[in-house]
Structure 1
Amino acid sequence: MVKKRGYHHGNLRMALVEAALSLIEEKGPTGFTLSEAAKRAGVTPAAVYRHFEGREDLIAEAARQGYEIFADLLEYAWEKGDVSDLARFESVGRAYLAFARRYPGHYVAMFESGIHVNRSPLLAEVSARAMGIMEKAADRLIAHIPPEKRPPARMFSAHIRAMSHGVVELFARNAPGTASPFSPEDLLESGIGVYLRGLGLIDPDH
């Protein structure tokens, strides 16, 4: 039986987000109701509406918090990377996969819930910060390519994000029928390696 703790158990808004995150992991972003989130947080459904207009508003807040964590991880990966632009870029790529593994509820809320990043100014701002770090890493790396062969940094970054997302979806969630003899980390690293070799950023024997 869920204990009704009301407003005396601490930060109710955060408790509701945590409840939503656990339900997203279990049932997906559209597989639960606000009543279920309220029950898991230990409050009445009516209490939810003091903080969120509806389920999408609650998921949007989970996504915003996720982007905050994501941006911090990417920034840390960029700052702590080796002095070479290539090593820094690879560090940022690994941080993407590490985030998806460690924060699956946030990841789904951010990328698979249908919540647009422009839903609110705060969500748009923190999303832009995270994507900006990836584009900065890409921009620094493609500066080593002759201008006439250089892809736009945003396109370059989008290619890496698409590759990273594909590895997460197919091989980092233990989905039935998608087992791989290689770890997600190895798949992502080798895939990025092939891509970078094609652009002349890595020697063929590297």
Structure 2
Amino acid sequence: MAKRGYHHGNLRQALVDAALGLIEEKGPAGFTLSEAAKQAGVTPAAVYRHFEGREDLIAEAARQGYEIFADLLDYAYASGKPSALAAFEATGRAYLAFANRYPGHYVAMFESGISIHRTPDLHAVATRALGVLEQAATELSQHIPPEKRPPPQMFAAHVWAMSHGVVELFARGSPGTKSPFPPEDLLESGIGIYLRGLGLVPPDD
């Protein structure tokens, strides 16, 4: 791996960038603070000026990931408007796109064991990301009769879980798993089946 180095006086961000590279290479539990410091080009003691420990460093990487994730979901949601269905489906595709483009952030967020409640800032931005999905679900669910309408939070959680499952099983090269279909097609068809079951998509001819 190329040494990222410490530049422009931004040691805190240099350490986060180093951690992201190590997370991609070794996983969230596979590196030490000393390794992150070495990648950033500073001594291990310098890390403690900004982070209490390795988990604190990973939490900051996760927080930054959620910022990117929330922005991507928000953009995807807006790009699908004015169709509530298109906006909802776009948020699902954005999940896959994020996992592919930002694997270090994705692992820090979802596979490190770091709770979103670890810091107020992390919780706030994670809640913002989920809020985009819930907003898309709320608008789409208005097309369902009230007596058959699931709570928007449940609606959003189902699609989040489906997206996460496709990413974990088929989009990140998990050992021993292989699908004859692209992850994007798997997710699109899965969401289609789910929405068809709710009466939001016409049945196949």
| Residue of structure 2 in register with 1:63 after alignment | 62
Q: Counterpart in 1 of 2:75?
A: 76
* Secondary structure at 1:132 match in 2: helix
- Deviation for aligned residue 1:175: 2.0
**What is the one-letter code of the residue matched to 2:116?**
V
- Between the aligned partners of 2:47 and 2:169, the Cα distance in structure 1 is 34
Residue 112 of structure 1: CA displacement? 1.1
Q: What is the 5 A alignment of 1:17-32?
A: 17-32=16-31
Sequence identity of aligned pairs in percent?
Answer: 76
| Pairing 1:114–2:113 present | yes
Hey, what does 1:198 align to over in structure 2? 197
Q: 2:43 is aligned with what amino acid?
A: T
Q: Which runs of 5 or more residues in structure 2 are unaligned?
A: none
The CA distance in 1 between the partners of 2:198 and 2:156, in whole Å, is: 13
CA distance in 2, matches of 1:49, 1:111: 25
Number of the residue aligned with 1:148: 147
| Other structure's SS at 1:119 match | coil
Which residue is 2:12 aligned to? 13
1:99 corresponds to: 98
- 2 CA distance for matches of 1:182 and 1:82? 28
The CA deviation at 1:9 is 4.4
State the one-letter code of the partner of 2:78.
E
SS of equivalent residue, structure 2 residue 139: helix
Corresponding letter in the other structure for 2:68:
I
**CA separation in 2, counterparts of 1:73 and 1:115?**
22
User: In structure 2, how many angstroms separate the alpha carbons of the residues matched to 1:173 and 1:118?
Assistant: 26
Instruction: Count residues with an aligned counterpart.
Output: 203
The aligned residue for residue 165 of structure 2 is 166
Q: Distance in 1 between matches of 2:30 and 2:137?
A: 36
Letter matched to residue 191 of structure 2: I
Provide the residue aligned with 2:33 in structure 1.
34
C-alpha distance after superposition, 1:58-106 (max 9, x if no partner): 0000000000000110111111114210001011111111001100110
* Unmatched 5+ stretches in structure 1: none
Residue type of the alignment partner of 1:64? R
- Report what 1:183 is aligned to: 182
> Which AA in structure 2 matches 1:144?
H
Give me the TM-score of the superposition, normalised by structure 1. Answer: 0.95
Deviation at 1:27, TM superposition (A): 1.0
Distance in 2, Cα, partners of 1:53 & 1:152: 40
9-18 or 133-142, which deviates more: 9-18
User: TM-score when scaled to structure 2?
Assistant: 0.95
1:42-68 residue CA offsets vs partner (Å, 9 max, x unmatched)? 110000000000000000000000000
* Separation in structure 1 between the aligned mates of residue 147 and residue 180 of structure 2, nearest angstrom: 39
How many Å separate the matches in 2 of 1:173 and 1:120?
28
Q: Matches of 2:90 and 2:8 in 1, distance apart? A: 39
SS of alignment partner, residue 117 of structure 2:
helix
Partner of 2:51: 52
